[in-house]
Every structure is written in C-alpha cells, then in structure tokens.
Amino acid sequence: MTKQQYREIAKKLGVKVPKSWTKFQTQVKAGAAIQLQINEVKHAIEHHEKFSTVYFWTPPSSASGRRSMEHKNQYYHELTLDGVKYSYSSNVSCSCKNVYYDGTFEINEKRKDVRAYKKLLNTLETMKAEVWQ
C-alpha cells in the first residue's frame, strides 16, 4: 500500500497518522486481523440466534429439500486467543414434521452457552480499540 492509501484508511477510521509508517502499517494489519475475527464471532452469534427457535419452523416437504436445508445451515467456527480455544458448531436436522438445531459453544473443549461468545466479542472489540491507542 502507498502512503496515500494509508492516509485514506486513517481518515476513514478517524485516527491520527503516527510519524512512523511501519507502526501505522502494523496497526492497520492488526486492526484488520482483529476485525475479521470480530466479524466471524458476530456471524456465529447471529447464526445461533437465528436458529435457536428453529423447532417452530416447518421443514421442506421433500427429502432432498430437507437434506439441502441441513447442509446449507451447518456452521463451524474456531478461534484461539491467548492460548484459549473457542469453538462453535451448529447442526440443523430435519424430520418430516420438525426441524431441530444443536448449537454448541465450547471453551477449551468445555461446553458453554452463547454468553461465552458474547464475552469473546467484547474482548476482541477492546483489543481492536487498544491497537489504535
């Protein structure tokens, strides 16, 4: 990236450009990496919230439609932060009459609930803010 592109990024982010370009480039890269993880964690939380009431849905009428729905709505996310392994896996299954959802949040292979990922999201957002200080 050129210095002008970094200046534009800084302007969009509302931060001052430090005198050291290498420091600023490092901040941009770290901020971008953290933002990718924030987006993934938000997606996992949204996915869980969307499918937590799936029991009341009506499944597709054909077997191929049910298998397609199961395949489309499987999701897995894994993140290691400070030596702690966070993971989320989602499994949607359909019978002829019902739709079932099993969402599993784990921290170091111990089962938790969605609050663990919400705390992780807050931690990541704090880390992102600290990058720009």
* Ranges under pLDDT 50 in the chain: none
- State pTM to two decimals: 0.75
Residues with Cβ within 8 Å of 84's Cβ and at least 6 positions away in sequence, in order, are: 107, 108
**Where do the domains of the chain lie?**
3-131
pLDDT value of residue 56: 86
b/e map 70-80, b = 16+ CB within 10 Å:
beebebebebe
pLDDT value of residue 100: 93
